[in-house]
Amino acid sequence: MRTVYALLLLLFPSGFRRKYRAELFAAFDDEMTDPRHAGASGRLRLWRYLARDLVASAARQRWSAAVSAARRLSGRGEPELPRQQRRRFMETLAQDTRYAFRQFVRRPGFAAVAVVSLALAIGGNSLIFGLLDGFVFHPFPYPQPDRFISVGVTFPKMSPETTYIEALSPAEYADVKRGTSFTHLGAFDLGNRNISGGDVPERVFTALLLDDLFPVVGMRPLLGRGFSKEELASNGPPAAIISHRLWQSRFGGDPGILSRSIRIGGQAASIVGVMPAGLVLIGTDLWIPWGGDLVQVPRNVRPFTIIGRLAPAATLASANAELSTIAAQVQQSHILEFKEYEGWRLTATPWATALLQDVRLAAYVLLGAVGLVLLIACANLTNLMLARSTTRHRELAVRLALGAARWRIARQLLTESMLMAFAGAAAGLAIAYIGLRFSDALIPAQFARLDLKAGLNMRVLGWSALLAACTGLLVAVLPALQATRTDPHESLKSDGRTGQGKAGSRVRQTLIVAEIALSVVLLLGAGLLMRSFVNLQRADLGFSPNGLLTMRLTLPQQKYGSGEAIVAFFEELSRRVQNIPGVTATSMVSQFPPLGFFSSQIEVDGMQASGSMLPTANTTIASREYFKTLQLSIVKGRAFGVEDTPEAPRRVIVNQAFVFRYLSSRDPLSTRMRMVGRGGPGQWTEIVGVVSDARNNGAGMPVRPEVFIPMEQGRDAWNQLFLIVRSDRDGTALVPSIRAAVASIDPEQPVYAIQTMEEAVALSSFQERISAMLLGIFATLALVLAAVGIYGVMSYSVSARTQEIGVRMAIGAEQTHVLRLVLMQVMKLAAIGLVVGVGLLLVAGKALSQLLFGVKPADPLTIFGVTLTLGAVALLAAWAPAWRASRVDPIVALRYE
């Protein structure tokens, strides 16, 4: 650790470093012992902070040292007044800029190649940064978003994952409220509600609140107010707050909205507030008080998401410390009743991080990838400038001989590269602007409802400007070094041809190797992501998604009060849908693959819960025809039948993963199991069948144990089921007839979340698809840039070696020999680049492997494919210069000598 710090200190001028060395180290030790910087994430924060601080202040010191050194060098001993200084600076700048423009106009091809490649590279960076800024880094409009916290929970006995959404019970919320880390806390349960009172019944995504959320999110309602204490109390007066979107779409933005009421599930509630536009809470459109009696809810019923605003005196670390104390107290008092409390943890995490934890890694990989593209563009540009500065050698030598200061020439080159970089950035921003306007098209409908917007904001502009400045600097370094090392005496004496020498060509070749290596990294990354996406697509889901259509129905409790009424409705619907031409099977289910959300703790009769985890399984209510509809096979026993009535003994069917995980060698058909739910274990139930596995935890993840409950026996727990229809034709064409079938039973019943199974499967691999696609685009861009680079360097090298080639041909070399000579040189560079690139990727492989499915970073097929592609592109790029070399007329070449 101290070594890294010592290395960072090397950035400072030596005088400063010598004087404050001990102090700086002591300060470092103090920072290390600061409790804020404990733990891995604390350490990471500390290093980020130290790096930023040290680099910035070292840069300032170096700058002022450089300024005074430059002043000494330019022989201006006596200090100028600041105003004069500034004017002279501006004059020089204007002069340099004019000169740079003239250079560009004289060689428009050079400037065009430079600006276009920078535009593509910087534009790509701005676009990706804009997308990530809008969707991942700063997705929400809340003030001080870092202090807007979500409380997550981990039950190591159940699962190693930390969950934030619908993760905690009201009793646990009360526990969290005992702490002092938060000024405001709120909790909400998510649900869907039918609203009516207009022309069409509508189903809206709803948050049911335990406390007023406006102080937590830090925003005020646009109209009206938040909920009062009375409204939030159990059985309080019905009240509702609606989203800006709902206000506009359903009420036409009526300014008198606060005097109106809304019918929610058939019950009138007065509208007390309208949320501001852009305030989104996981896409909810309606906020209502939860309204139940909290004391009735057992500790292990956990439908609530807890959010809070950090108190001014608290930090994330102090809040976490307090939460772990609370968790320990709860564990002590409740462990006997609720086993999952063993080792449980409560964690405070900024809301955006908690919501988007899965995407962040992919986001950083993309940002890194597009950064590599910019690096390649920089290397290209450096090469172009180096090549050009050798032809400008004499010009620079003359200027030096006439007494120009070396830093003045370096500054001229810097002005040129900065001008190109900013011109490229400006064009790049145009590309990014267009790209961001179309970014909505990339977002699947389920995310679009979050109302996230990506656009060119100040952060994106700032980032682009920063990149442009870095590019300008980076590109100018090597040419400036080369120019200032010029010895005017030697240069003017020679004929200008030998000016570059061996060292210069080695620099250029190294840059080419670096470009190739970076392209290889991108190509490999893109190839691997594409392969894992294809693997995901081809992954055996365990069922056939073709021809399946899914949709959701929720029967309002007021109308369908009993389980019998609910089952009767669904049975009737099933019968009518079955009669639609084309339908081959139809069934009802509470959740379906490739995802599953509902699970519970289970117990198997006569088996001790061994190991560190409590057994859990997905619990799914399914109608008789479900397995047939999905084409899952019954491996043992039987499917559900008409005999599984509510009066019959409880029966379940389990999947193969369940048998494998929890029953080992026992016969499932003679084993009983039960679910542990609200207020303790349920009845013992008989396992009557084993069904084949279907991916129920994402296409790329292992199958989770699953328990199926017959719809008739689970009827009292569910009023919300998916209708799944298999047909022999395009599923979406059936939607109108299915809607008609629903309306013929109950005209007020909405149908929603209509999706073909293929869409559902595609959505579950959305992130993989978009990562593979973007990385593919970057890799192509990188390859094009690298090809341009190879072409440029080889053209230059061939023209510089014209005499040598002429001599070779004069003494008998054939055209094919010369062709091979040049091409071999390129292939050598490509081979080195390939090896370095593969090496780099394998080093970075660990981060990447988390994003891969069914393929390892060292995938021979991908490496082989990349080798072929790269070889072909390198040959193509070098072909024209090589051909030109082979056509050198020895007489012309030698006469020049």
Task: Name the site residues for another protein (rule: CB under 8 A).
Answer: 12, 16, 19-20, 22-24, 26-28, 30-31, 49-50, 52-58, 60-61, 64, 82, 312, 315
Mapped onto helix, strand or coil, the DSSP state of residue 475 is helix
Nearer to another protein, 30 or 889 (CB): 30
CB of 533 to another protein, least distance (A): 43
CB of 353 to another protein, least distance (A): 19
CB of 162 to another protein, least distance (A): 26
CB of 17 to another protein, least distance (A): 10
Nearer to another protein, 24 or 465 (CB): 24
Amino acid at 9: L
**Strand pairing of 286-289 and 239-242?**
antiparallel
Nearer to another protein, 22 or 503 (CB): 22
Give 676's strand partners.
Answer: 601, 681
Nearer to another protein, 146 or 748 (CB): 146
Nearer to another protein, 50 or 840 (CB): 50
CB of 415 to another protein, least distance (A): 24
Crossing angle for the helix pair 815-849 and 766-800, to the nearest 10 degrees: 150
Beta-carbon contacts of 677 under 8 Å, excluding residues fewer than 6 positions away, are: 300, 600, 601
The answer to whether the peptide bond before residue 545 is cis (omega within 30 degrees of 0) is no
Nearer to another protein, 56 or 847 (CB): 56
Nearer to another protein, 180 or 329 (CB): 180
Nearer to another protein, 16 or 407 (CB): 16
* Alpha-carbon span 387 to 78, nearest angstrom: 39
* Alpha-carbon span 257 to 223, nearest angstrom: 9
* Alpha-carbon span 231 to 688, nearest angstrom: 48
Rounded-to-5 percentages of helix, strand, coil across the chain: 55, 15, 30
CB of 514 to another protein, least distance (A): 30
**Strand pairing of 752-756 and 583-589?**
unpaired
Nearer to another protein, 82 or 812 (CB): 82
Q: Beta-carbon neighbour count of residue 711 at 10 Å?
A: 27
CB of 192 to another protein, least distance (A): 41
CB of 49 to another protein, least distance (A): 6
Instruction: Identify which of 773, 794, 775 has the alpha carbon closest to the alpha carbon of residue 783.
Output: 775
Instruction: Identify which of 513, 483, 482, 524 has the alpha carbon closest to the alpha carbon of residue 379.
Output: 513
* Alpha-carbon span 489 to 717, nearest angstrom: 93
Nearer to another protein, 23 or 728 (CB): 23
CB of 64 to another protein, least distance (A): 6
Q: Beta-carbon neighbour count of residue 41 at 10 Å?
A: 11
CB of 844 to another protein, least distance (A): 29
CB of 523 to another protein, least distance (A): 39
Instruction: Identify which of 414, 330, 376 has the alpha carbon closest to the alpha carbon of residue 93.
Output: 414
Radius of gyration from C-alpha coordinates of the chain: 34
What are the structure tokens assigned to 74, written together? 């330019």
CB of 312 to another protein, least distance (A): 7
* Alpha-carbon span 826 to 875, nearest angstrom: 7
What are the structure tokens assigned to 310, written together? 């950090």
Residue 209 main-chain phi, psi, to 5 deg:
-100, 150
What are the structure tokens assigned to 796, written together? 């230059």
Nearer to another protein, 53 or 716 (CB): 53
Nearer to another protein, 26 or 398 (CB): 26
Beta-carbon contacts of 850 under 8 Å, excluding residues fewer than 6 positions away, are: 361
Instruction: Identify which of 772, 802, 815 has the alpha carbon closest to the alpha carbon of residue 896.
Output: 802
